[in-house]
Structure 1
Amino acid sequence: MTDLLNPVERTALLTAALRAAETSRHDRLYEDPYAARLAGEAGPELLAEVRDATFPPDRPRSLPSTPDYNAIRTRFFDDFLKNAAQDPAMTQVVLAPSGMDSRAYRIDWPGHIRYFEVDRPAVLAFKADRLQDVTPRVAHRTVAVDLTADDWEQRLVDAGYDASLPSTWLLEGLLYYIPEADTHRMLEHVAAVMAPGSRIAADLVNAAALTLPHMRGLLDVFAGWGCPWLFGSDEPEALFDRYGFGVEATQPGEPGADFGRWPDPVPPRHIKDVRRVFFIHGWRR
């Protein structure tokens, strides 16, 4: 079934392979017992390409450590979602896109949560096939739609989402794969179906991460797969503020986003021309 996934969709297999590798570590930051089956055979092959680019045998590493980054990102957003779900008034969680994520299956959710996974039909079909013998630990609904389609919000409502109630959204592994105009359109549409007091989280690179010469090795891997990184922002707070969100942008390695695993210095925000990744998290005003 992997042949039915387009290049961007296949990156979800890389994420699953990274989560499977993290789960095998004795010092793992989380445990994902379903990651290996979701990664299949293709996921480890993609991960091997990333490792070859990131950890060259003949010179020091100059690229960010993808395994450490992904482990921190997953744990950071795990904690964000679990914290949000503890609020009895927070009854809806939306993952858009959901990719090969297994949080609906590996996390114990409070009984008041309705959990929506939004992604393209091929992705959801692939995941359903791999997890056909596993029962979600939450009231779980899938919405098979392309997030660039004009009617995806209506499809979400048709699946039982109530835009008048608070919700928590996670846009993980999405924004750097879509053009800037699509990012703005995505945030505009998400904001339109989020009640005040709702929560949002996302990850995003800065603009320099798309152009710095020493990032070329990693960027070339993704471009070679047919899914280049297309968008980054040095002002993520302003980007989200434009659509009614009050957010913080935390970098891996900063307090709350380190977990003893980030191996590189974290340059202050005023320093220019350095690569950055942001974990964006906050509220709908």
Structure 2
Amino acid sequence: MHQQTRLPDHAPHSPADTALDAVERTALLTAALRAAESRRPDRIYDDPYAAALCGDLGPELLAEIRAVTFPQDAERTLPSTPDYNAIRTRLFDDLLQDAAHRQGLRQIVLAPAGMDSRAYRLDWPGDVRYFEVDRPAVLAYKRGRLAGLAAPRTDHHAVAADLTSPDWESRLTAAGYDPAAPSVWLLEGLLYYIPEADAHRMLDRVAALMAPGSRIVADIVNRAALTLPDMRGLLDVFAGWGCPWLFGEDEPEGLFARHGFDVTATQPGEGAADYGRWPDPVPPRAAGPVRRVFFVHGAKR
């Protein structure tokens, strides 16, 4: 059982904040990162709903991440989480938009959805069906935060299901998802939080729901990112919150190939995964041991 995220005694939190468990609260961190990016004059995307979605707790989680990432009395050794998150969000925006507008895919699945607001802030073709799968507490929190503030800009379906449950697929299809029709799936901020065996099962289950030619988008870290001493500060924060990083893969192309996908893996700062924002050198794939993050995208065979 994961321990609950520690909360400062002096800080007020809404009942909705504290109803989320440790893993679920990482979605508030992502929303806080997106809210901070949206306030920057040089922002590379704008999420007008992130500030509402991150709640009271999200900024506190972000403050912990900033404290270890940018120490006041030492050189930064950790990757820049704000820049990483900004690049990931914009790149995944672009990939999903391309799948819907240019490639003509009409089913979009976010698993898990967390505090994502792409259904609310991006333009989608009129016949797209957009599915957000996440635990009931997460979807209830999100629904409450967005009530009266925003409405989806597409045919939106919230699917209340735990991705570790044996029946989430049936709940998705009951909501209108058609496994025989092409789709694009986003697995954002998921794979490194689950054990290796569960990651393989997840990719098998997702692949079984996708028609050939469907697209997949995900992020994953390498194995060294879980063990290198210069990652310790960041890893300790997540472990202290009760949601440690558990899985990394050095060859993401091979990982996804074993589950029926042909993918490209890109590191932040490479090619389109930069947007002028990545502050660190990009290590060649042959170099090691170094920490790596991969943005993965490709198609189901």
Q: TM-score, normalised by structure 1?
A: 0.99
Q: Aligned equivalents of 2:146 and 2:79: distance in 1?
A: 32
Whether 1:216 and 2:232 are equivalent positions in the alignment is yes
What pairs up with 1:163-182 in 2 under 5 angstroms? 163-182=179-198
Question: Contact conserved, 1:88 with 1:112, CA < 8 A, in 2?
Answer: no
Q: Aligned equivalents of 1:181 and 1:123: distance in 2?
A: 25
Give 2:64's aligned residue. Answer: 49
State the AA in 1 paired with 2:294: F
What pairs up with 1:122-201 in 2 under 5 angstroms? 122-133=137-148, 134-201=150-217
Question: Contact conserved, 1:165 with 1:195, CA < 8 A, in 2?
Answer: yes
State the AA in 1 paired with 2:262: G
Q: Aligned equivalents of 2:124 and 2:181: distance in 1?
A: 18
Question: Contact conserved, 1:90 with 1:166, CA < 8 A, in 2?
Answer: yes
Aligned with 2:97: secondary structure? Answer: helix
What pairs up with 1:22-171 in 2 under 5 angstroms? 22-87=37-102, 89-133=104-148, 134-171=150-187
Q: Aligned-pair distance for 1:162?
A: 0.2
Question: Contact conserved, 1:2 with 1:42, CA < 8 A, in 2?
Answer: yes
Whether 1:246 and 2:262 are equivalent positions in the alignment is yes
Question: Contact conserved, 1:12 with 1:100, CA < 8 A, in 2?
Answer: yes
Q: Aligned equivalents of 1:48 and 1:131: distance in 2?
A: 24
What's the RMSD between the two structures over aligned residues?
A: 0.7
Q: Aligned-pair distance for 1:282?
A: 0.2
Q: Aligned equivalents of 1:41 and 1:5: distance in 2?
A: 13
Q: Aligned-pair distance for 1:3?
A: 1.1
State the AA in 2 paired with 1:192: A
Which contiguous aligned blocks of 4+ residues in structure 1 show a shift greater than 3 angstroms? none
Q: Aligned equivalents of 1:41 and 1:2: distance in 2?
A: 7
Q: Aligned-pair distance for 1:11?
A: 0.4
Aligned with 1:143: secondary structure? Answer: strand
1:103-144 superposed Cα distances (whole Å, 9 cap, x missing partner) = 000001111210000000000000000001121000000100
State the AA in 1 paired with 2:251: E
1:32-52 superposed Cα distances (whole Å, 9 cap, x missing partner) = 000000001100000000000
Aligned with 1:149: secondary structure? Answer: coil
State the AA in 1 paired with 2:229: P
Give 1:278's aligned residue. Answer: 294
Q: Aligned-pair distance for 1:89?
A: 3.9
Q: Aligned equivalents of 1:88 and 1:227: distance in 2?
A: 36
Q: TM-score, normalised by structure 2?
A: 0.94
Identity across the alignment (%): 71
Task: Report how many residues are paired.
Answer: 285
Unaligned runs of at least 5 residues, structure 1: none
Q: Aligned-pair distance for 1:90?
A: 1.0
Q: Aligned-pair distance for 1:88?
A: 6.4
Q: Aligned equivalents of 2:212 and 2:82: distance in 1?
A: 35
Give 1:10's aligned residue. Answer: 25
Question: Contact conserved, 1:176 with 1:205, CA < 8 A, in 2?
Answer: yes
